[in-house]
Amino acid sequence: MSDGRSLDPADWNAFRDLAHRALDDAIDSIASARDSGAWQEVPVEVKRAIAADPLPVNGSTTQDVYAQYRDLIAPYSVGNRHPRFFGWVHGSGTASGMLAEMLTASLNVNAGGRDHAAPYIERHLIAWCAEMFGFPASASGIVTTGTSMANLIAVIVARQGALGSTVRQTGIARASERGELVAYASSEAHGSVAHAFEIAGFGSDAVRIIPVDATFRMDLRALRAAISADRARGLQPFFIVGTAGSASVGAVDDLAALADVCAEERCWYHIDGAFGALAILSPEQRSLLAGIERADSIAFDFHKWMHVPYDAGCVLVRDGTLHHASFDDDSPYLMRSPHGTGGGEPWFCEFGPELSRGFRALKVWFTIKEYGLARFGDLIAAQCRLARETGALIARTTPLVMLAPVTLNIVCFRYAPRLAEKALDAINAQIVLDLQEQGVAVASTTRVGGKLGIHLNVMNHRTTKADMALTLNEVMRLGEAALRALQPTG
């Protein structure tokens, strides 16, 4: 408050100086992303310093806190800005994304409701996304923290579609007297699908795990058989998940065939396209996603293949009315007015579980407008090409073995000299650890058909051919070293 209590800086000029210095440091750190190691462990003394910091009763200065950030945090980031960060499925961020987040925080908008610029931008962004995926203009959507939340929202909306609006009051046990609801997803589907069913009260057993074929796509005959068996038992199939880009190997289900099954079986068709959905922007990958336009809902991330800073995802819902009815809220303190600050219906808090919510849409809007969809399409195509080339090189390099075909941008392989399975698992885990701990590259591990493999997600916009070659060379070098250490051959 103006009697000295306001949290505004006592000296705006000093704050401004610091902020500009911090901005320069931040830009430098992005511009030099290649120069540091791909990962470095947080030193023990830094961990101790963080943990020993007592609950701050008295404050400090912005300058001091920034200095601590620079010493304790900035150098020990997870590394996904680095061109040889291939672990899991991480986006790399952009300098412009940082700029947009700074603007968002300066506005400090609560984008849950009310009449101001943010909801107009978010609504328009949703319209763009609907157009990208061939959804009708009547579709709805909301920017989420990511696909986990987007999947959950889709399950809640589909549940209401199956059980009727009274489910919000009576719960699923009473509403589903016609027969328990069951859902279907492939064994490659992301864990957040099962989590969504846990949270929604159905339990993960309600999700039938359908096996995949040799290309890691859902086996459609097995799907039909599972649906028949469930119907025969008096259960009610209601939800089928198509995966567009699986987390382990990047597989894409046959989305058009799944659309047919959903139409025949009158099931809600949800597509988890966390990272893969955006491959629709690439002319070379687009056909892989044929059928996505027939989904009832699509979940995907902006913070992966669009490199928007964490976190930002989206859910699109074909039936916008049902989506709204699944979350609307007539609390007295949310009373709407025909105009004024309390106008601007519908409010975004009625399309998801969050009442207060940040203006995540701005960084996405900023990113799409600056780069344009064609640029992302080119980038995605190039990365998929690079992944394919890397896969081909692996296939002809002894003793490397591919564990899955490269569908999109994920390369999953192992260093596989003639050894027992257990020893191979150990060697490959060791290679991944050594790559990380030597700061060379960050790969992650996964299991494919029970075999521990090395997972490379070729997504970073800074990654070059040379980075892939260097990484494979290092895998070979580390594999040989691990082999010598574990079990001297010959």
- Enumerate residues 35-64 that contact a second copy by CB under 8 A: 39, 41-42, 46-47, 50-51, 53, 55-62
Q: For 29-58, give one letter per residue: b (16+ CB within 10 A) or e.
A: beeebeeebbbeeeeeeeeeeeeeeeeeee
Shortest Cβ 91–a second copy spacing (Å): 7
Vertex 205: Cα angle to 203 and 211 (nearest 5): 140
Q: Which of 10, 35, 137, 333 binds a second copy (CB under 8 A)?
A: 333
Q: How far is the CB of 412 from a second copy (least distance, A)?
A: 10
DSSP 163-218: H-TTHHHHHHHHHTTT--EEEEEETTS-HHHHHHHHHTTS-GGGEEEE-B-TTS-B
Q: How far is the CB of 331 from a second copy (least distance, A)?
A: 4
Tokens encoding 81: 């800005």
| Closer to a second copy by Cβ: residue 374 or 392 | 374
Q: Before 54, cis peptide (omega within 30)?
A: no
Tokens 């299991």 belong to: 447
Q: Smaller CB distance to a second copy: residue 465 or 477?
A: 465
Binding a second copy by CB under 8 A: which of 178, 221, 233, 447? 447
User: Quick one: 221 or 465, whose CB is closer to a second copy?
Assistant: 465
Minimum distance between the CB of residue 364 and a second copy, rounded to whole angstroms?
Answer: 12
Q: Per the structure block, which two tokens stand in for 355?
A: 């009442």
In residues, how long is the chain? 490
Interface region with a second copy, contact rule CB under 8 A, candidates 288-296, 392-400, 438-446, 476-484: 438-446
Q: Using CA atoms, how far apart are residues 257 and 396, in angstroms rounded to an integer?
A: 34
Q: Which stretch binds a second copy (CB under 8 A): 188-196, 225-233, 469-477, 480-488?
A: 188-196
Out of 133, 202, 238, 300, the only residue in the binding site for a second copy (CB under 8 A) is 202
- Give the nearer residue to a second copy in terms of CB position, either 65 or 225: 65
- Build a one-symbol-per-residue string for 114-133: x at contacts with a second copy by CB under 8 A, - elsewhere: xxxxx-xx--x--xx--xx-
User: Which single residue is written with the structure tokens 């300098």?
Assistant: 95
CA atoms of 122 and 96, how far apart (whole Å): 18
To a second copy, the closest distance from the beta carbon of 288 in angstroms equals 20
Rounded to whole angstroms, the Cα distance separating 304 from 32 reads 21
Cβ contact 330:275 at 8 Å:
no
Q: Shortest Cβ distance from residue 211 to a second copy (Å)?
A: 15
- Choose, by CB under 8 A, the member of 36, 204, 236, 397 that binds a second copy: 204
Smallest distance, a second copy to C-beta of residue 117, A: 4
- Chain positions 262 to 321 lying near a second copy, rule: CB under 8 A, are 301, 303-304, 307, 309-311, 313
CB of 312 to a second copy, least distance (A): 8
Q: Scan residues 135-154 and list those touching a second copy (CB under 8 A).
A: 145-149, 152
Question: What is the footprint of a second copy within residues 224-253 (CB under 8 A)?
Answer: 247-248
**Interatomic CA distance for residues 312 and 100, integer angstroms:** 13
- Compute the half-sphere exposure of residue 229: CA atoms within 13 Å on the CB side of its CA: 10
Dihedral (Cα; 312, 269, 321, 277), 10-degree rounding: 30
Cα–Cα distance, 63 to 30 (Å, whole number)? 21
The residue from 176, 282, 285, 407 that contacts a second copy (CB under 8 A) is 176
Binding residues among 206-225 for a second copy as defined by CB under 8 A: 206
The single residue among 271, 277, 394, 432 that binds a second copy, judged by CB under 8 A, is 432
- Shorter beta-carbon distance to a second copy: residue 260 or 342: 342
According to DSSP, the residues that pair with 455 across neighbouring strands are: 412, 444
Q: Tokens 């001091």 belong to which residue?
A: 64
472 near a second copy (CB under 8 A)? no
* Closer residue to a second copy, CB minimum distance, 240 or 430: 430
Q: Binding to a second copy (CB under 8 A): which residues in 349-368?
A: 353-359, 362-363, 366, 368
Q: What's the longest Cα–Cα distance across the chain? A: 82
SS3 of 220-264: HHHHHHHHHHHHHCCCEEEEEEEEECCCCCCCECCHHHHHHHHHH
Closer by beta carbon to a second copy, 74 or else 476: 74
Residues 368-427 that bind a second copy (CB under 8 A): 368-375, 378-379, 382-383, 386
Instruction: Considering only residues 63 through 102, tell me which ones interact with a second copy, judged by CB under 8 A.
Output: 65-66, 68-69, 72-81, 87-88, 90-102
In 3D, which of 126, 135, 130 has the Cα closest to residue 294?
135
Say whether residue 173 binds a second copy (CB under 8 A): yes
Considering only residues 98-117, where is the footprint of a second copy by CB under 8 A?
A: 98-111, 114-117
